[in-house]
Structure 1
C-alpha cells in the first residue's frame, strides 16, 4: 500500500483477500465501482499492485497463511482508515488430485485457518464500523445436504479436501455470527465459475456473474441476515 490518500469520511472501507484474480478481483472491481474504498489483498506484490491499479483499489500484501503478514496488513488499514466496514474472505485453493497429509494441511490452512487469522486481526477494526459485515466465499461442496443429494452436482465431485475445508469455513462463519452479534457474518456459494481453480474442469460462468452474488452479501444493510450460507437464490441448507 504505497502513497495511499486518506479516504473521505463516510466511505465504506473494504478488504478482500486473494483478490488479484478470479472472483476476488471481480468482487473488488464491482465494489470499487459502487464507491467502496477497496483494499485488494494478495500474496504477490507485483500481481497485486497491477490488479489494484487496474480498478482503482489499494493493494495490501496479505498471505492468509502467515500471521505476521495478516497483522501487518490490518495494521496498515488501521493506520490509514481507523476502521474496516467489510471483510471478504476470498482466498482459497481447490486441493484436488491425490490426497495426503501435506495437501490436507495446506487446504485447511488456506481455506479455514486463514479465515481465523484474518478475522481475529480484523475484529478490532470491524467493531469501529457502523455496519460491519464479513462475507466468506465458501461452497455448497461443504454442505452435507448438497453432497448427499443425488439431484445435486456436488454429490458426484471427488473433492474431499476442498469439501471438508469449505465445510469448516462455513461453520466458522456461523460460529463467528454467534460469538460476534454486532457483526454480520455470512457464507456464500458464488456458483460454478470459470477461474484458474476450475480450469481443469472446463466449466463455469464468468467471474463477474459470481462476484455479483458476493457483492450482494457484502452490501447488506444494518438489518441484514447473519449466520447463513447463501447462493444467488437465497439460504442453502447446510
Structure 2
C-alpha cells in the first residue's frame, strides 16, 4: 500500500538515498531541505515532491506543517533525518556552547517540534511511523568526550524516541535507528559504509508491516540505547 512520507534533510546523503529507495518502492515522498534550489534538484532526481523546511527554525516548521496539512492532509511516516555535526575537535571541556546550542536546536528541537505538529495526522494513519535518524555516538554505553554536541543531541533524540512512543498513540510506532559510519558529506570519505546500506534500516522501519516500537535499530536489528 502506498504510504505518504516526509523525509527531512532529503537533499543529500542518507536522507536523499532514503527518499530514492522509498520512491522506487512506489511511495509518495515529500523531501524537505533548507535550500529551495538544492531541494528542488534532489526531489526532481529521485522523483519526490519538495517542500522547503529549516528544522532549526520554529517559524519554518510551523509554515511547513501548515502547508503540508493544507496541500497533502494525510501522513503515514515521518522520518526525522535532518541534522548537523559541527563539533569536530571539541571535547566536553573546550566545547563551544554556542555550537552545542545550535546542534541541539537542529538535532533535537527540530524533530521534537515536527512530532508535536504532525502527530495528529500520523494518528489518523492505520500504521503510522516516526523514525528518528540517530547514531551509535549517542548510545549511553559508548559516550566519550569527543563530539560532545553531536553525541548529547543524539542521546537526547533517543530519549525523545522512547518518550514519544509511549505518548503519541497506539497506532503510531516511534523508533530510532543508527545508519552506521556512512560515506556522506557528514561521514566523510573514510567511512566504510555505502549510503545505500546506511539508508536500508530507515526504509525497512518505514515499510515493514509488523515492527516493534520504542526501539533503537542498526542493520534491522535492535541495539542498546
Poorly superposed stretches of 4+, deviation over 6 Å: none
Q: Which runs of 5+ in 1 are unaligned?
A: 1-9, 148-154
Alignment deviations for residues 73-120 of structure 1 (CA, whole Å, 9 cap, x no partner): 222222222211000000011122332111010110111111111111
C-alpha contact 2:5 2:30 (8 A) present in aligned 1: yes
Is the counterpart of residue 15 in structure 1 residue 6 in structure 2?
yes
Alignment deviations for residues 155-212 of structure 1 (CA, whole Å, 9 cap, x no partner): 6x8221111110000110110001123210000011110111122x722322111101
Q: 2:125, 2:220 → 1: CA distance? A: 28
Name the structure 1 match of 2:112. 116
C-alpha contact 2:9 2:83 (8 A) present in aligned 1: yes
C-alpha contact 2:204 2:220 (8 A) present in aligned 1: no
State the TM-score, normalized to the length of structure 1: 0.88
Name the structure 2 match of 1:234. 221
Q: 2:15, 2:150 → 1: CA distance? A: 18
Aligned length: 219
Name the structure 1 match of 2:212. 225
Q: Which runs of 5+ in 2 are unaligned?
A: none
Q: Name the Cα RMSD after superposition.
A: 1.5
Question: What secondary structure does 2:125 align onto?
Answer: coil
Name the structure 1 match of 2:61. 70
CA shift at 1:54, angstroms?
0.6
Q: 1:230, 1:166 → 2: CA distance? A: 14
CA shift at 1:11, angstroms?
2.8
Residue number among 104, 121, 124 corresponding to 1:128 in the alignment? 124
Name the structure 2 match of 1:6. none
